[in-house]
Amino acid sequence: MSQRLRYFVRVDKNGTKIYEDWTCTRCGGAGGADAWVYTGFTCWECGGTGKREKPRIIKEYTPEYEAKLMAQREKAHQKKLAEAREKAPELNAEFFKRNGFDAEGNMWIVLGNSYDIKDELKALGCKFSSQLSCWHCDHELEGHNTIKLNASEMYDVDEAGIYLWQYMKNDDVKAILRKANENLDSKASSSSYVGAVGDKIEIKVTMTGFHSYVTKFNWQTIHHFINLFTDEAGNVFVWNTTACSDVNVGDHITIKGTIKGHKEYKGIKQTELQRCKITKEVT
């Protein structure tokens, strides 16, 4: 059974009672435990004595003295807070410069697929954020789709108003960017639904996207392939299948299939196909 090895020492001038606590932090003063019976029972921290090497000093303040200490701590805290608030503008200015904001704390983030123009963006002074997977700049970019965000939308600040780089509002920022990109895709897309459910179609398209994912069924691994196609009118077709084709993004093909349905994804109207056959154009 554990026991507290706590001893009264003295009372100081402020009425504070001072104690020494010698209780071992591992065994609680018991010197051992039944849980350790297979390894020797005895506590290796205290060697079975139940006592620690040096005592922990415990102070019990009177209500009056504790109130006095709290007032002193609050005064010291307010003093440090005032000093920090004076330094806040300078520290925030350094933060803005270091993290790609302008002097007002604004940042312009490039929307859409920026991979193909990464060299151009880099030449314009943009930086890539691996945390957000996007390019951003400290000034407006003519000819590019961007969204302006302020540092207050992206980072938390402490009590003195100093921005905390380690506390980015990741989920909030990603939600803003996701919505902005969805709106951009919706505006940019000229896609319309094609045909009616059950119709058989044959159409020339270009493969514009490819994704895959894996599921498990009866201990078997099933690979799924999502193929995206676009015709000359800008209409988008999607074929979700377990059959892998040799078509690559950018290939021009003729596709035969049956219309399975119509759906809207990220604001883009898509015609779903099934039981497709693909013929690659000879170049």
The DSSP bridge partners found for residue 206 are 230, 252
Rg of the chain over CA atoms, in angstroms? Answer: 34
H/E stretch holding 239 reads: strand 236-241
Residues sharing a CB contact under 8 Å with residue 199, sequence separation 6 or more, in sequence order: 258, 259
105 and 96 in contact (C-beta within 8 Å)?
A: yes
List the domains of the chain with CATH numbers: 6-60 (no CATH), 71-188 (no CATH), 200-280 (2.40.50.140)
276 and 257 in contact (C-beta within 8 Å)?
A: yes
Measured between alpha carbons, how far is residue 168 from residues 93, 99, 165, 172 in Å? Answer: 17, 12, 6, 9
pLDDT in tens, the chain (283 residues): 557 899 999 999 999 999 999 999 999 999 999 989 888 899 999 999 999 999 999 999 999 999 999 999 999 999 999 999 999 999 999 999 999 999 999 999 998 878 778 888 888 889 998 888 899 999 988 878 899 999 999 999 999 999 998 888 989 999 999 888 887 776 656 788 999 999 999 999 998 888 788 888 878 888 888 898 999 888 999 999 988 888 888 889 999 999 999 988 766 789 999 999 998 875 5
**How many Cβ atoms from other residues are within 10 Å of residue 219's Cβ?**
5
pTM over 0.75: no
Cα(121)–Cα(130) distance, integer angstroms: 15
